[in-house]
Amino acid sequence: MEDQLISIPQILTLLEGTWTGEGRGEFPGVTSFAFRATLAFTHRDSKTLAYQQRTQKLYDGQTEWLESHWESGFIRILESNELELISAQIGRSEVLVGTTETLDALVQIRFVSKSITNDPRMISSARTFELEGDTLRYEMEMQTTKVEQSLPHVKIVLQRLK
């Protein structure tokens, strides 16, 4: 496979739009669940995307979807040419720093937490986005005070709405 050079502003443009999909969540001490999400990215300016994510979850063994996670924030290009994701959630905020990698038509962004506030349970988190055409794969992992290593928490495949 051959690397393609895609600029970071181009990557932000590729993310722009509304994405929907279904995935799975699990973590030690948490009942496993299916979830569905809508993730919307909108350009604020040439170096910043605003985003909003809303999810519903269905615990294993349940039949009713429940309102769940809701977060919003920004992805912006730093002077170092890294990306920064600023996330506000109910009761928690996170700042993550990301790097990009491209291989053929696949663009990967890997974010690692720099700071997490207002949630003493959280030690670290990481998020990976893989964009290929109109498909966006997203994974989130975390480490908490009760789990000594970073483990996967959610994984979802989303499709761009036309």
Task: DSSP for 103-157, please give it.
Answer: ETTEEEEEEEEEEEES-TTEEEEEEEEEEETTEEEEEEEEEETTEEEEEEEEEEE
pTM of the model: 0.93
Determine the pLDDT at residue 6.
84
What is the four-CA torsion angle of 117, 37, 157, 77, rounded to 10 degrees?
Answer: -50
Determine the pLDDT at residue 151.
97
Residue 101 in any domain: the answer is yes
Q: Which of 132, 129, 134 is nearest to 156 (CA)?
A: 129
Determine the pLDDT at residue 4.
52
Q: Which domain holds residue 79?
A: 8-160
Asked if pLDDT for residue 5 goes beyond 60, the answer is yes
Confidence of residue 162 (pLDDT cuts 50, 70, 90): confident
Residue 26 in any domain: the answer is yes
Q: pLDDT tens digits for 26-71?
A: 999 999 999 999 999 999 999 999 999 999 999 999 999 999 999 9
Determine the pLDDT at residue 1.
38
SS3 57: strand
Residue 59 in any domain: the answer is yes
Determine the pLDDT at residue 51.
97
Q: What is the CATH number of the domain that holds 134?
A: 2.40.128.20
Q: How many folded domains does the chain comprise?
A: 1
Asked if pLDDT for residue 3 goes beyond 70, the answer is no
Residue 2 in any domain: the answer is no
| Alpha-carbon span 91 to 64, nearest angstrom | 25
Residue 3 in any domain: the answer is no
| Alpha-carbon span 110 to 126, nearest angstrom | 7
Determine the pLDDT at residue 2.
43
